[in-house]
Chains A and B, each alone.
Chain A
Amino acid sequence: GDSVTQMEGPVTLSEEAFLTINCTYTATGYPSLFWYVQYPGEGLQLLLKATKADDKGSNKGFEATYRKETTSFHLEKGSVQVSDSAVYFCALSYEGGSEKLVFGKGTKLTVNP
C-alpha cells in the first residue's frame, strides 16, 4: 500500500541555519504531496503542496519539489527561525480517489536562538 517515510528526528538547529527534512513515498499511482506543520499544542496546518511531478510548493520561506524519479518531496528552508520550531509531517493523497491523507511519522524541529 501507499506509505510515506520521513527522516528520523529530532532535528536541532541554530537560528538562520539551513533546513532539510527528507521525505520519500511509495505509491501505486500518481499522488499529490503535502507538508503539514504542527505547532505545540495545536492541530496540523497545511504548509505547502505539489500536485504533479516537478511542481514546487512554497510557503513562508519553505519549499519542496515533487521528484517522481526519486519518489521524494524534501522540505527545505534557507534560514530557519525560532518560530519554526514544530513537528513537520509529509503526506500524500490522490485526486479523484479516496481523498485520504497518508502521513509520515513526523519530524520534530527545534530551532535555538
Chain B
Amino acid sequence: DAGVIQSPRHEVTEMGQEVTLRCKPISGHNSLFWYRQTMMRGLELLIYFNNNVPIDDSGMPEDRFSAKMPNASFSTLKIQPSEPRDSAVYFCASGVRGSVGELFFGEGSRLTVL
C-alpha cells in the first residue's frame, strides 16, 4: 500500500518565485496536515484539514502561504512570493480522524530559496 506521496522532493528557486508543493495522502485517510521543519524552530504545524475542509490554519506564517485540498486525494501548499526564510523541509502527513496522533508522514519536500 502506497504511503503519503509528496512532490517535488527537492526544489531550488529564486526569491520572488512561486512555489507549489504537492501531497497525495494515503487512500481512506480523512485528515491531512502540513508541517514545516527547520533547524531553528523544529517541526511547526502550518495547517490541517479534516474531510478536505481546513480546520486550523493558525500556523500559516503569512498571506504568502496558502493551502488547498480540492479532493480527498490531493493537497497543495503554495508560497507566493517565496523568500529565503521559507527555506525548509515541508512535510505532509495524513491520518484517520479519531486515531489521535497517529500520523503517516511523507518523505518531505526540501525547499531552498536563493
Contacts and interface: CB of A to CB of B under 8 A. Distances in A.
A85 to B, nearest CB: 18
A43 B101 contact: no
A99 B31 contact: yes
B103 A101 contact: yes
23 contacts: A32-B100, A32-B101, A41-B107, A43-B93, A43-B108, A44-B43, A44-B91, A44-B93, A44-B103, A45-B105, A49-B101, A51-B100, A92-B101, A93-B100, A93-B101, A98-B56, A99-B31, A99-B97, A99-B101, A100-B33, A101-B33, A101-B103, A103-B42
Q: What's the dominant secondary structure at chain B's contact region?
A: strand
A89 B43 contact: yes
Interface of A: 32, 34, 41-46, 49, 51, 89, 91-96, 98-106
B106 interface: yes
A43 B106 contact: yes
Contact of A49 (B45, B93, B102): B102
A44 B93 CA distance: 9
Contacts of B101: 32, 34, 46, 49, 91-93, 99, 101
B45 A44 contact: no
10 closest A-B pairs by beta carbon, nearest first, are: A43-B105, A93-B101, A105-B42, A103-B43, A44-B105, A95-B100, A34-B101, A43-B107, A93-B100, A43-B106
